[in-house]
Amino acid sequence: MARAYLDHASSSPLRPAAFEAMLPYLRGHPGDPGRLHAEGRETRIAVEVAREQVATLFGARPREVVFTATGTESVNTAIWGAVERARSGSDRHHVVTTAVEHSAVLDAVARSGFETTVVGVDGRGRFAAPEVLAAVRDDTALVSVQLANHEVGTMQTAVAEIVAGARDRGAVVHVDACAASGHVPVDFAALGADLCSVDGPSWGAPKGAAALLVRRGLRFPPFVVGGAQERARRGGLEDVPALVGFGAAAAELSDGATLVGEATRARSLTDALAAAALAEPGVTRFGDPTDRLPHLVCVGIDGVEAEPVLLGLDQRGVAVHSGSSCSSELLEPSPVLAAMGVDAERSLRASVGWSSTDDDVDRFATAFPEVVTRLRALRGG
């Protein structure tokens, strides 16, 4: 029997359109896009077409798209660039962020050495615009906030107000939209941010493909040095097949109807996943159940640790995620849930994607109560 893969928020199967677009560049087309010979010009055209496709999906100009290998690199590029820009050219040495940001944001901010104000959140993982803006000072160089939470799915409805208010105060604003990209509309121009991180693997683009959107006219030092690629904003030979696949996947969603249709389908599936989990006593849903990313659901389970539940589901052919997002193989307590004031030790995140089916949900609905009941019985014994 086929397994039920319910960890799309980490990485989703490659879309057929992306796969087909990549094949010619895996089999041939060896040219370096930075070279002037015919082979180089051919791959340069492919990279620039992909740039236009990604820009269209995310409401940006092609020249505002800086390709990176991962969303984590995109975030690091944004924060490093903003901090170094301030360090060398101003007396602004303060950063504002929130307690529910991805570890890439929090670790990059911590490494900067700048004084940092971390704004708290409510019980659904949502930060408030007045609190974030109250933390912005005359010496604030950077404000970095997420568009949606990567673990509990809560949409951050205050982002537009924060972007406008922080930029009025002279701070550079970075929005981490990696969790939201490909699942809900992300419009860089309408958002008004200086920097925006997006990536592709969670919605069917290839691993190794992401981007930083940089507002036209903003200059900052590159994070990856050693070459003049990406208009001197990111050194290194481009991964042409991955970028071509990224572009093809973006083009598939750019008509709007596909993105909306997939989001509607994902919400239906995650509603069913949540209902199946909440039918078991002692299970609590985390995050906003309504104003949320459509493709993921996060629950807490009383009486058992997360790791044995995850492993029990895996043995029954169901793949889910637990612990802090991107925390490696160590199932560490989630700092997001800790910031929300809920149990950070017993969370389970199930997420769907473009290829998910009703059978995946049915398999989870059958396996979840069996695993939880068995583990609670063993613990009680």
> Residues with catalytic annotation?
326
- How many other CB atoms are found less than 10 A from the CB of residue 314? 14
Structure-block tokens of residue 373: 């009941």
Q: How far apart are CA 80 and CA 72, in angstroms?
A: 12
User: Nearest CA to 242 among 39, 42, 46, 41?
Assistant: 46
346 DSSP assignment: S
Task: Report long-range pairs for 23-28 (Cβ below 8 Å, ≥24 apart).
Answer: 25/240, 25/241, 25/244, 26/241
Q: Is 176 helix (H, G, I), strand (E, B) or coil?
A: strand
Task: Sheet containing 195-199: give its strands across.
Answer: 65-68, 210-214, 195-199, 172-176, 140-146, 94-98, 115-119
30 DSSP assignment: -
User: Nearest CA to 370 among 318, 334, 327?
Assistant: 318
- Contact predicate 269/360, CB 8 Å: yes
Q: How far apart are CA 293 and CA 280, in angstroms?
A: 23
Q: How far apart are CA 102 and CA 336, in angstroms?
A: 8
Q: Is 368 helix (H, G, I), strand (E, B) or coil?
A: helix
Nearest-Å Rg of the Cα atoms of the chain is 21
Q: How far apart are CA 266 and CA 247, in angstroms?
A: 22
Q: Apex CA 57: angle with CA 51 and CA 62, to 5°?
A: 30
Tell me which H or E stretch contains 93: none
Provide φ and ψ at 203, rounded to 5°.
-130, 25
Residues 6+ apart with CB under 8 A from 239: 69, 208, 209
User: Nearest CA to 184 among 134, 228, 149?
Assistant: 149
